[in-house]
Structure 1
Amino acid sequence: MTKNKIVSADEAATLLRDGDTLANAGFVGNGTPDELLAALERRFLATSAPRDLTLVFAAGQGDGKERGLNRLGHEGLLRRVIGGHWGLVPKLSRLALHDKIEAYNLPQGCISQLYREIAGKRPGVFSKVGLSTFVDPRQSGGKINPRTVEDLVELITLNGEEWLHYKSFPIHVAFLRGTTADPEGNITMERESLVLDGLSMAMAAKNSGGIVIVQVERVAASGTLHPRQVQIPGILVDCVVVAAPQNHMQTYATAYSPAFASELRVPPDAVVSMPLDARKVIARRAAFELSVGSVVNLGIGMPEGVASVAHEERVLELVTLTTEPGVIGGIPASGLDFGAAVNTQALIQQHQQFDFYDGGGLDVAFLGMAQCDRQGNVNVSRFNGRLAGAGGFINISQNARKVVFLGTFTSDGLEVAVGNGVLRILREGRHKKLLEHVEQVTFSGPYGAKRGQQVLYVTERCVLRLTDDGLLLTEIAPGVDLEDDILAHMAFRPLLPPEGPALMDERIFQAEPLALRAEFLHLSMEERIHYDDKRGTLFLNFAGMQVRSRRDVEVVRQSVERRCRTIGRRVDVIVNYDTFEMPEDVADDYARMVRYLMDRYYNTVSRYTTSVFLRMKLGDALTRRGVAPHIFETRDEASQFLEAEQKAPR
């Protein structure tokens, strides 16, 4: 017999009991079940029940004021809160900072993955994410205040390596959200901007013996929902609540956008260009760290500007932007729309995105920077009396191959003038951001350096790089004085190159576009060839290059041979083949040319490209010519191979 699971929000709220653990879905204002949260708040204010709940959430779910989880910010309603990002839930933050509740800040990705582990009745998440940060039990274990004493994270050793164990616990109630339900409780999400963790959260609650309550905007007749559109099957759902429109906006900034639901694609001119100010200067310099074919993550806030600059420079289609709730491709939205995106290529579940991130899938991540210190540690989670929380920052920053931290050099009142190729500081910010020690370690510089990460720190007036010995000041803006405008406003003295810092590219400080697309795709052969005399290594940047004919092959041969003859001795070579294009009928000619250069000028060659197809095609062509391909996925892997070969006896 068909069971009708449709109930009112107030009826659903009565199902929570004192001491329950409530897991709530959402990302900022995307997919947050406000109808359910409002009903729970009403019940508590009217009856003082339920009490002493444990609240669990992965991403921050609020508008920074009243909506979302701010509705639960009442003393007595909550006993414990376990959250990933706290910046948009000030009412909960106040309870935590004033020691009114037990409170934890854990990495967003680890909480997201924990739902899946709880669903499978496994002991928890085992991850390296969080090592050497404030989540590490050797620091605070993610505890926010003195009232919080139980260890939810423990350090373990497995196969001789350190890992963090994020412990499982039962979930008694899950508040979720979808678009359409049928009376049996099957849930689709066709008008939602994100999928998030609805399925794994429902499984976690159900397999814990708990209750699953889903908020939707409409109900369909039994048997009419397409099974491939059902994101949460009815066997996992206990109650369905139809929300009022004001409590079911697509995001907290947008009632409904068909572009966020992938019903249509927006025209390219829909993205607004940024004014030329400090924020755009930072985004422009950061955009130089993009490369053709790279997979990118953009954090909230300052890093959002990189997408705007990339669009303005017409290089957005040459990279793949992603965001942590599951967006792949397209253009991420900003502000209270953050998490949604337009023109996306794919949308996956949040924990799947973090699996990809944690495994090293990101080529480069652009993230914010509230504080930084001489060791390269970065703090974005707790500073100046504010509890922002880490969100997905730890997962992303710790595992991306390259990390670019973005932020103004000082904060609170900074004013600059930008134009004519120079930067002038009109008024300095009241707070220094480059400190002797950060208040909390959200990214560990020493841990990143130990693992060989490429790490940059980009501000409007200078750029620093992480080294084994700390921060190296590599670039300064034209018009800026090193001593008066930079060193005088740092709590430590950074390392300096022997020849002094280089000037940042003057184009960054001019009104005209940077012409990055031409740089990315139309480099001359001379610009694609770089020789490092100290390492005896020739770098060939063939990224984005198109070799269409035998004539193109001959141009490559002549250019490389000309440079090798100038060097006058055999060299080791690294070749970047990302988004390199070569038709099948040219492959043998190209391989023959490579064989020629190797016989005469090369010692050892390593190559890299993220394209599996190109690795196979080029590898086969070279192998047929008796050339060992040595083609890797990343530059780091190619460099490591070359270094090993250089150390080996020859």
Structure 2
Amino acid sequence: MSKHITPRQAADLIPDGAVVSVSSSSGLGCPDLTLKAIGERFDETGHPRNITTLHPIAAGDMSGIKGIDYIAKQGLLAKVLAGSYPSGPSSSEPPLIWQMITGNEIPAYNIPSGILFDMHREAAAKRPGVITKVGLDTFVDPTRQGCAMNDKAGAEPIVEKITFAGEEWLYFKAIAPQVAIIRATTADERGNLTYEHEGAYLGGLDQALAARNNGGIVIAQVKRLAKEGSLKPHDVRVPGVLVDYVVVDPEQKQTTQTLYDPAISGEIFRPLDSFRVPEFNIQKVIARRVAEELETGSAVNLGFGISANVPRILMEEGLHGAVTWVIEQGAVGGVPLLDFAFGCASNADAFMPSPYQFTYFQGAGFDASLLSFLEIGRDGSVNVSKLSFRPHVTAGCGGFVDITARAKKVVFSGMFNAGAKLTIADGKLVIEKEGKLKKLVNEVEHVTFSGPRGVAQGQDITYVTERCVMKLTPEGILLTEIAPGVDLQAHILDQSEFPLIVSPDLKVMDARLFTDAPIGLTLPAKAPRRLAEANHG
């Protein structure tokens, strides 16, 4: 018997006061039509009312996939917990969910994506919750904001600090959803789900288990239906025994602004010369210098921003494949994509479910991470998750906190200050006018990465900007390299709110970084992995 229902019938299944888990990563894998139907039902009937939604990565964006904005309505949405939220340019009108958050209309929480997936897994197994060190001494820690995004959330704590086995840990209570809304490509008549056109598996299986094991229902949105028995069992990622209802949207987008690209879902491999190489500009200079931090044979996580261009730098230098890229949505290997398709990869080696990718990250099984920064603090802490004067431009932490909690090596990249007028001439950086906003500040507004914990754990932390390279040390932030053409005092030391330690071996960054030609990049080989290393810590 087919489980196929209409979007409105799916919306009618959501009871008042329900906890609803939604699988998505911005536009990637978003069950947009089902969320739209829930919002339309509320507009017509006033129901469902006062639901709580869980979004382990994010649901919706500013480019044609509204996602959570369909249900961001007073009276419908009572509380939201998300790894990140839709973001957009400062000149645009904020997404509706941001208006509710900044207007203090509902309690809103920004929980690291890996922890939110862990909360689902614990709920599925009827365990009490997640005990973790991920997030200690960051905004996740209850001694800071405790994941709260506004005053209403601050009045309803979501995380506790506890002592277990003589050590400090964070405790998140498991939350059991009554409804899970997930997405796939194909469902057969029994509800078996395959993901052949998806850019990632995300966490649909874990969310379905959490709902089903706690007496809830699972609604799957798909692109098409198939006859019972026609799907290959090895291709089924969520079995039909976990799926109660199926909604069909033949127009569902694969990811933001992308209806369907078979290279994103791994069905074909693109020629390497079809990938765009970054144009020569300041951001490319930074990405090149970040690339110099890599080792051949490494597994390297990649975040949004300037560092997302590093795979293209290696490609331009003839080093594609020298490292294996791993991203939180689940792709392993290949070429991570840019802009609206960020979170997807073409030519991937494999796709892992996001919850397992986060287990890999939380336990520091990978070699390095390349991430961005908005602010750097005196103690080496980094903010990427909050700017009070432009809140909806920052999406939240996503997997940043999970990734950096124990990472062996992190390279943060960004512009030294905001708004500077810069040019490049004759292999030198020319600073024509300084920016008005300093990014090296005495205290960051939001601690997304804790510098003191990084020092205590012996993490290798580097900060790369267009005008200098810095390292985190127990004594403070050490300036190790300066760009050619830059004045140390006027352009660096005077542009920081706190004193930088100048290395006695201060070097000049390679002038080839500042020229419009390949730089002849070579990478050292990663040291062979030893059993003692695997067992350490």
Instruction: Please give the alpha-carbon distance, in whole angstroms, between the structure 2 residues aligned to 1:172 and 1:497.
Output: 57
Q: Distance in 2 between matches of 1:127 and 1:311?
A: 38
* Residue 427 (str. 1) matches residue 425 (str. 2): no
Distance 1:262 1:108 in 2: 24
8 Å CA contact 1:33, 1:177 repeated in 2: yes
Supply the distance in 1 between the matched residues of 2:425 and 2:273 (Cα, whole angstroms): 25
- Does 2:410 match 1:407? no
Instruction: Find the aligned partners of 2:503 and 2:197 in 1 and give their Cα distance.
Output: 53
Counterpart contact for 1:415–1:425, Cα < 8 Å: yes
Q: What residue number does 2:306 align with? A: 302
**Cα deviation code 1:475-527 (max 9, x no counterpart):** 1100011111112221111111235x3111111111121111xx337xxxxxx
Could you say which residue in structure 2 is the equivalent of 1:86? Answer: 85
Q: CA deviation at 1:429?
A: 2.5
Which residue of the partner structure matches residue 349 of structure 2? 345
Cα displacement (A) at 1:150: 2.2
Distance in 2, Cα, partners of 1:351 & 1:462: 36
> Is contact 1:134-1:441 (8 Å) kept?
yes
User: Is 1:133–1:444's contact at 8 Å kept on the other side of the alignment?
Assistant: yes
Partners of 1:442 and 1:472 lie apart in 2 by 21
Pairwise CA distance, 1:87:
4.2
Aligned to 1:165: 171
The 2-side partners of 1:265 and 1:361 are apart by 27
Q: Which residue of 2 aligns with 1:54?
A: 52
Q: Provide Cα deviations, 1:361-416, integer angstroms capped at 9, x if missing partner.
A: 121100010011111010011114315311100011122110000111112x3331
1:378-397 superposed matches below 5 A: 378-385=382-389, 386=391, 387-397=394-404
**2:83 and 2:116 in contact (8 A); partners too:** yes
SS of the equivalent of 1:314 reads coil
Among all aligned residue pairs of Structure 1 and Structure 2, give the percentage whose two residues are the same amino acid.
Answer: 42
- The answer (yes or no) to whether the contact 2:417–2:435 under 8 Å persists in 1 is yes
- What's the secondary structure of 1:213's corresponding residue? strand
On the 8 A contact 1:301/1:335 being kept in 2, the answer is no
**Residue in 1 aligned with 2:365?**
361
Q: Deviations over 1:340-361 (max 9, x none)?
A: 1111111111010011111111
Alignment partners' CA distance in 1, 2:197 and 2:41:
29
Cross-structure match for 1:507: 512
**Distance (whole Å) between structure 2 residues aligned to residue 115 and residue 360 of structure 1:** 21
Residue in 2 aligned with 1:249? 253
Residues 1:609 and 2:528 aligned together: yes
Which position in structure 2 is the counterpart of 1:417?
423
Partner of 2:380: 376
Number of equivalent positions: 526
Distance 1:417 1:203 in 2: 54
Which one has a bigger Cα radius of gyration? 1
Structure 2: which amino acid aligns with 1:466? L
Instruction: State the TM-score, normalized to the length of structure 1.
Output: 0.79
**Whole-angstrom CA distance in 1 between matches of 2:207 and 2:246:** 15
- Name the amino acid aligned to 1:253: Q
Pick from 245, 254, 264: which aligns with 2:268? 264
Please state how far the C-alpha of 1:265 moved relative to its aligned partner.
0.7
Match of 1:111 among 116, 129, 133: 116
Q: 1 CA distance for matches of 2:156 and 2:259?
A: 41
Letter in 2 for 1:165: Y
1:532 aligned residue:
none
Matched, 1:20 2:27: no
1:584 aligns to what?
none
Aligned to 1:439: 445
1:7 aligns with 2:5: yes
Structure 1 residue corresponding to 2:34, chosen from 36, 39, 55: 36
Tell me the equivalent position of 2:523: 520
2:143 pairs with 1:138: yes
User: Do the aligned residues in 1 keep the contact of 2:217 with 2:244 (CA within 8 Å)?
Assistant: yes
Q: Which runs of 5+ in 1 are unaligned?
A: 522-542, 544-577, 579-607, 616-630, 641-650
Structure 1 distance, partners of 2:21, 2:420, is 40
* Structure-2 change in CA distance of 1:418 and 1:478 (3 Å): same
Give the counterpart letter for 1:188 in structure 2.
Answer: T
Tell me what 2:92 maps to.
none
Aligned partners of 2:84 and 2:396 also within 8 Å: yes
**1 or 2, which has the higher helix percentage?**
1
2:63–2:256: 8 Å Cα contact kept in structure 1?
Answer: no
Query: Are the structure 2 counterparts of residues 430 and 73 from structure 1 closer, same or farther at C-alpha, using a change threshold of 3 Å?
Result: farther
- Identify the range of structure 1 (341-350 vs 310-319) with the bigger mean alpha-carbon deviation: 310-319
Give me the whole-angstrom Cα distance separating, in 1, the residues matched to 2:7 and 2:86. 27
For residues 485 and 422 of structure 2, the distance between their equivalents in structure 1, rounded to whole angstroms, comes to 11
Q: Is the 8 A contact 1:21 1:55 kept in 2?
A: yes
2:226 aligned with 1:228 = no
Q: CA deviation at 1:633?
A: 4.0
Match for residue 240 of structure 1 among 242, 246, 254: 246
One-letter amino acid of the structure 2 residue matched with residue 169 of structure 1: I
SS at match of 2:278: coil
Counterpart for residue 132 of structure 2: 127
Q: Which has the higher contact order (CA 8 A, sep 6+)?
A: 2
SS of residue matched to 1:497: strand
2:496 corresponds in structure 1 to 490
Structure 1 distance, partners of 2:492, 2:388, is 22
Aligned-pair RMSD on alpha carbons?
1.7
Distance 1:366 1:82 in 2: 26
